[in-house]
Structure 1
């Protein structure tokens, strides 16, 4: 049964009564965004991996190392500029409408990319594609973190990046199949298929509620309470968990307004606490980018060449196997983040990455010293560690890249803070995706040693500065940074587990009084 629900925006919604169904639709939204293009999905990276191996693509554009990097990395130019607008759009237009406009821009970029006649057209198309997908991705990260109940948030938001590998697997399979075609459709067909995920996301949007945090901030109090009820208790407005979550949101956002915290992008730098939250939260984006996965994400062919796997068909098959492996690791990592914690999962993953990079560098050096005399055990051992590296990367960075930043940042800086994180990520990625093929070509195995060295520094920073957010609502995380929780109600999980109780009648009265006063102030 669907219930027409007010959203405070032009984008209507008809929300299912069942909370389980709503959670499934939210996860589908997350999955579709993750499977989608460039920034939030693996289809783009895996597709370019395949295209960079296909002669029909490389010969059509007459690519060299520099133009290969430009064609591939231009998506990050759009991803570099997208965050400038995405945070402001998500705050002003609403989370769901911003996702809609981002998906629409992505579709335009895909169509132009498919029709590209030269490098210039291909690059412009990918800039638009990157711009649209980063807007949709940032809005999705903020929306899902604010809408999912705390007990499901790790899975709900973690999936926003986990299904990167489903998109990557689809792209790898499609490029493997079309790679045998003797026409430009060998690369145009995989490109065109990229639009389907944005179309599916647009179809899902009318059946999921708007973010209750955004609704409260904009003065739509009853609509916000209904959204909390729909995502926590089958639409039951008087459920104790609903009342507690709603009261936490009311109290915390009212406190932020009293403190003079605005939605301006300047807010992310305004106070020492805001700067601390920004630096810790935004670090997940750049850390995930420089960890070393860009080599295998976009230049698997070149990486396999350094290990002695030079046949194009074998490289395409390796691309398929790699993405199946990484999907399993990402799902396992999401489980670890939910049960064990975000910080512990990141430390485990980062430590394993350091070990793998040094081993890959050493084995690649042995192959480079004597490629003709290299044994098969050396070659396959190097490839095996490359696969282990990508799996270990997927354990933490795949789910945490979109899960951790919005948890650490409070409402007034959440959208702009996540945008800033993605801005930094794309600034690094824009450079690294361009220089990696040049680096591999010029210094070969040494690139792994350089990468492993800076990964050690990242592990130390995580150990010293990251905080744990597991098992807390977004408002309860405030206590870690502000020194206190800004609502007197018990923690949600304590009530859910029976460790604390509330007087629902009294809480209902407090909520009614508070929303009446806030409504009067807004008027």
Structure 2
């Protein structure tokens, strides 16, 4: 049974009554967002191996980097508008607009006649993907119940590898085609995921926090109840969540906090939350995965795997392995914590990079005399590296920033984090093929050295957010929780109780005081 639900936007919603069914739809929204990015990365990885693609554009290491890196130019431009779009028009419309723009970019990419057209298409694609991705990250973090948030938002990036696997399979299948459709067909197929996202949006509610900010209190309360208690607005958990949101956003309003992009720099606490939250983007970009994410072919060549078909098969196996590791990592983040998971992953990455660098050096010193065990060992550690990356950075990239940032800076803060990631990626994607060609194994040692610095920064500055609602995380930074109701998870587990009638009366008093205040202002 579907229930028409107010959204405060032009995009209507007919929401299932069951919270379980709604959680599945929210996860599907998360999944299809993830599929687009994963498909794109793996597709370019496959295309960069295909002779038909390289010959059509007459690619050199520089132009290959340009074709691949243009998506990050769009990715760097998208966040400039994404936060404002999500705050002003609503979380769901931001996802919709981003999906439409992404689809347009995909059509132009598939029809590309030269490098310029291909590059412009990828800029548009990257621009749209970031608007929908940032809108989706903020939306899902604000809408999922706290007990499911790690999985729901973690999947926003976990299924990157499902999209990557689909792309790897398709490019492997079209590799034998002796026409431009060998790369145009995989490009065109990418648009399916944007269409799937658009189809899901009418059946999920708007973010309750955005609705409260817009003073659409009844719609917000229904949204909370639909996600937490199958539409029962008097359920103790739903009442507790709703009261926390009301109290916290009212406190932010009294503090003079607005949705302006300037808010992310306005106070010392805002700057601290921004720096910690946004660090996930640049950190994930710098740890070394870009080499295998977009340039698996050249990386495998440094280890002696030079046949294009062998490289494409390795691409398929790699994505299956990374998906499994990402799901394990999401489980660890949900049950063990975000910070410990990141520290574990980072330690393993550092070890792998130095091992890969050492093995690649041995191979480079004597290519003709290198044993098969050396080659296979190098490839095995490369695969381990990508899996260890997936344990933390895949789920945390969109999960951690919106948890750390409060409502007034959440959308713009996540946009800033993504801008940092994309800006670095523009440089690294362009530099990596040149670096691999000129420095070879030394690139791994350089990367491993700066990963040690990232590990220290995480250990010293990151905070733990596991098991808390977005409002309860305020206590870590502000020194206090801004609502007098018990913590939601304690209520859910029966460790504390809530007097629903007393809370209802308190909400009514707060609304009466608010109306009197507004009346007095007029």
- The bucket for the TM-score relative to the shorter chain is over 0.9
Q: CA deviation at 1:494?
A: 1.1
Question: Does the CA contact (< 8 Å) of 1:219 and 1:522 recur in 2?
Answer: no
Alignment of 1:356-505 (within 5 A): 356-505=352-501
Alignment of 1:18-417 (within 5 A): 18-36=18-36, 41-417=37-413
Across the aligned residues of Structure 1 and Structure 2, the Cα RMSD in angstroms comes to 0.8
CA distance in structure 1 between the partners assigned to 2:15 and 2:90 by the alignment: 17
CA distance in structure 2 between the partners assigned to 1:522 and 1:44 by the alignment: 50
- Secondary structure in 1 matching 2:480: coil
- Secondary structure in 2 matching 1:14: strand
Unmatched segments (≥5 aa) in structure 2: none
CA 1:522–1:265 in 2, change beyond 3 Å: closer, same or farther? farther
Q: CA deviation at 1:501?
A: 1.0
Q: CA deviation at 1:427?
A: 0.6
CA distance in structure 1 between the partners assigned to 2:518 and 2:399 by the alignment: 32
1:10 aligned residue: 10
TM-score by length of 1: 0.99
Question: Does the CA contact (< 8 Å) of 1:221 and 1:515 recur in 2?
Answer: no
- Secondary structure in 2 matching 1:234: coil
CA distance in structure 2 between the partners assigned to 1:502 and 1:163 by the alignment: 38
1:413-435 per-position Cα deviation (integer Å, ceiling 9, x unaligned): 00000000000000100000000
TM-score by length of 2: 0.99
Q: CA deviation at 1:64?
A: 0.1
CA distance in structure 1 between the partners assigned to 2:407 and 2:72 by the alignment: 27
Question: Does the CA contact (< 8 Å) of 1:219 and 1:519 recur in 2?
Answer: no
Q: CA deviation at 1:522?
A: 5.8
1:31-62 per-position Cα deviation (integer Å, ceiling 9, x unaligned): 010001xxxx2100000000000011000000
1:313-333 per-position Cα deviation (integer Å, ceiling 9, x unaligned): 000000000000000000000
CA distance in structure 1 between the partners assigned to 2:316 and 2:493 by the alignment: 43
Question: Does the CA contact (< 8 Å) of 1:96 and 1:210 recur in 2?
Answer: yes
- Secondary structure in 1 matching 2:4: strand
Q: CA deviation at 1:519?
A: 5.1
Q: CA deviation at 1:498?
A: 1.5
Q: CA deviation at 1:517?
A: 3.6
Q: CA deviation at 1:68?
A: 0.1
Structure 2 residue 503 is matched with structure 1 residue 507: yes
Q: CA deviation at 1:510?
A: 1.1
Counting matched residue pairs gives: 519
1:148-187 per-position Cα deviation (integer Å, ceiling 9, x unaligned): 0000000000000000000000000000001111100000
CA distance in structure 2 between the partners assigned to 1:127 and 1:275 by the alignment: 30
Q: CA deviation at 1:520?
A: 5.6
CA distance in structure 1 between the partners assigned to 2:69 and 2:117 by the alignment: 14
CA distance in structure 1 between the partners assigned to 2:151 and 2:11 by the alignment: 26
- Secondary structure in 2 matching 1:9: coil
Q: CA deviation at 1:492?
A: 0.5
- Secondary structure in 2 matching 1:74: helix
CA distance in structure 1 between the partners assigned to 2:411 and 2:518 by the alignment: 22
1:234-277 per-position Cα deviation (integer Å, ceiling 9, x unaligned): 00010011110000000000000000001100000000000000
1:213-248 per-position Cα deviation (integer Å, ceiling 9, x unaligned): 000001100000000000000000100111100000
1:123-165 per-position Cα deviation (integer Å, ceiling 9, x unaligned): 0000000000000000000000000000000000000000000
Q: CA deviation at 1:513?
A: 2.4
CA distance in structure 1 between the partners assigned to 2:464 and 2:137 by the alignment: 19
CA distance in structure 2 between the partners assigned to 1:379 and 1:137 by the alignment: 38
Q: Which range is displaced more, 227-236 or 500-509?
A: 500-509
Q: CA deviation at 1:281?
A: 0.2
CA 1:197–1:518 in 2, change beyond 3 Å: closer, same or farther? farther
CA distance in structure 2 between the partners assigned to 1:330 and 1:248 by the alignment: 31
Question: Does the CA contact (< 8 Å) of 1:30 and 1:160 recur in 2?
Answer: yes
